[in-house]
Structure 1
């Protein structure tokens, strides 16, 4: 696996630290329950109508994000490590029609409980990417920031509803 030399280093790694007003067990559920993931995953104005997850080491992931213009963006992945409720590691990728990998990213989410709140330490590392993947990789930070904004709103809604 290689990352094309033309992709700048700042597009191959993303680190985000966010605090959520929710206990760690709830945050774990937000990341591992397809019903919740489908609500918050994806950049602002995107939806995620398809979320299939086999939440176990080696378990598969299949999601479809839908853009505001109706274009579907499917991707697949697998869970690498699950240490409930502290850490989860997954890899996701997009394959091209010829079966080659367009790009693959390893995502690590660490959950630290601090007085009933959760500190999320999120990291995304590009492990493989073709030169023509620079477009989506350029949007990775904005995409994850938007997703985490939606996650915060969903956590608040769940807390208000008692669900």
Structure 2
């Protein structure tokens, strides 16, 4: 298992919850593009497309659509894949670990941890930022509310599988 640096409260945002679905279903929801488009953006936003090449250096690309129909593409790179337990991707790199310019917002790295917890899953999503101002921007965009709503939607989707 890969060791990750501890969370830095000055730079990182964390959503940690236990959900009542099996870890393998949470993993499937995070790694299957056809499922990601069903839950990834908090309503009334939506995800119009998703491409994943599930390997280090592979792409993690999504397009979020606003309620007004405006598209917001995000291109990223997968850093770590630990089957069933950990997915790490970043918007700071493109596929093949190529550095990229991030337009609009700020680059961040997402660390998704999935662990068995009784009959459910202990879910931890950490957004790692380069500086305090990026963390503050992400927080003000509604990180806690948005990522929590998306997790609720993920649970709803996998319960219907």
TM-score, shorter chain, exceeding 0.5: yes
Show the 5 A alignment for 1:5-154. 12-93=11-92, 100-102=101-103, 103-127=106-130, 138-139=140-141, 140-154=143-157
Aligned partners of 2:79, 2:35: CA distance in 1, in Å? 20
- Where structure 1 has 5 or more consecutive residues not aligned to the other structure, the ranges are 1-8, 159-163
Per the normalisation by structure 2, the TM-score is: 0.78
Aligned length: 146
Root-mean-square deviation (Å)? 2.7
Give 3-state SS (helix, strand or coil) of 1:101's partner.
coil
The higher radius of gyration belongs to 1
Greater share of strand: 1
Change (3 A) 1:135 1:86: closer
